[in-house]
């Protein structure tokens, strides 16, 4: 979703993922895609305005050299270490941002508009029946789902 939203906003996006997901990440709009088994984020020789870490695998003090002045290192994972980094860097020119999505109405309207204009295409990994909810949780907990896991409620 993040790649598609950034592309729709006219931004240039590069991605890092496993080899299995390179084709998908490219198809979603990333220009350059790196395999994390071949390159660690800190080896990539480019600077960015935003580094978005969806799984909490990057270390802020390694990523600072990849941020432009005024750039942001955004963690979707929002546990104590990320909250501490956000507080520790709040007056820095290269800040960490984290937090729980507030699901504001205007943001959801923006996403809805993108979907209606076919700028946003959800990636669905698997659909489970409601009776399989425990298996669905176990599958998600493995940390390898690609996109969303849906629960079907009749």
Ligand X SMILES: NC(=O)c1ccc[n+]([C@@H]2O[C@H](COP(=O)([O-])OP(=O)(O)OC[C@H]3O[C@@H](n4cnc5c(N)ncnc54)[C@H](OP(=O)(O)O)[C@@H]3O)[C@@H](O)[C@H]2O)c1
- Summarize as ranges the residues that interact with ligand X (CB under 6 A): 16-18, 20-21, 36, 54-57, 76-78, 100-101, 143-146
**Separation CA 88–CA 150 (nearest Å):** 37
**Separation CA 112–CA 107 (nearest Å):** 9
- Taking a C-beta distance cutoff of 8 angstroms, is the pair 137, 119 a contact? no
Which residue, 55 or 153, is less far from ligand X as judged by CB? 55
CA atoms within 13 A on the CB side of 41: 23
**Minimum distance, C-beta of residue 4 to ligand X, in the bound complex (Å):** 14
**Minimum distance, C-beta of residue 153 to ligand X, in the bound complex (Å):** 20
Using a 10 angstrom Cβ sphere, with 0-12 exposed, 13-18 middle and 19 or more buried, the burial of residue 53 is buried
**Minimum distance, C-beta of residue 56 to ligand X, in the bound complex (Å):** 6
């Amino acid at each position: 979703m993040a790649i598609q939203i950034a592309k729709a906003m006219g931004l240039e996006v590069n991605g890092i993922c496993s080899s299995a997901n390179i084709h998908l990440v490219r198809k979603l709009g990333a220009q350059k895609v790196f395999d994390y088994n071949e390159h660690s984020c800190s080896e990539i020789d480019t600077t960015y305005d935003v580094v978005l870490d969806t799984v909490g695998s990057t270390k802020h003090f390694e990523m600072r050299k990849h941020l432009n002045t005024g750039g942001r290192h955004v963690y979707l994972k929002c546990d104590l270490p990320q909250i501490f980094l956000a507080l520790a860097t709040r007056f820095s020119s290269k800040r960490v941002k984290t937090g729980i999505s507030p699901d504001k109405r205007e943001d959801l309207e923006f996403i809805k508009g993108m979907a209606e204009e076919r700028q946003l295409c959800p990636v669905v990994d698997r659909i489970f029946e409601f009776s399989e909810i425990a298996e669905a949780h176990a599958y998600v907990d493995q940390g390898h789902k690609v996109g969303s896991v849906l629960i079907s409620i009749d």
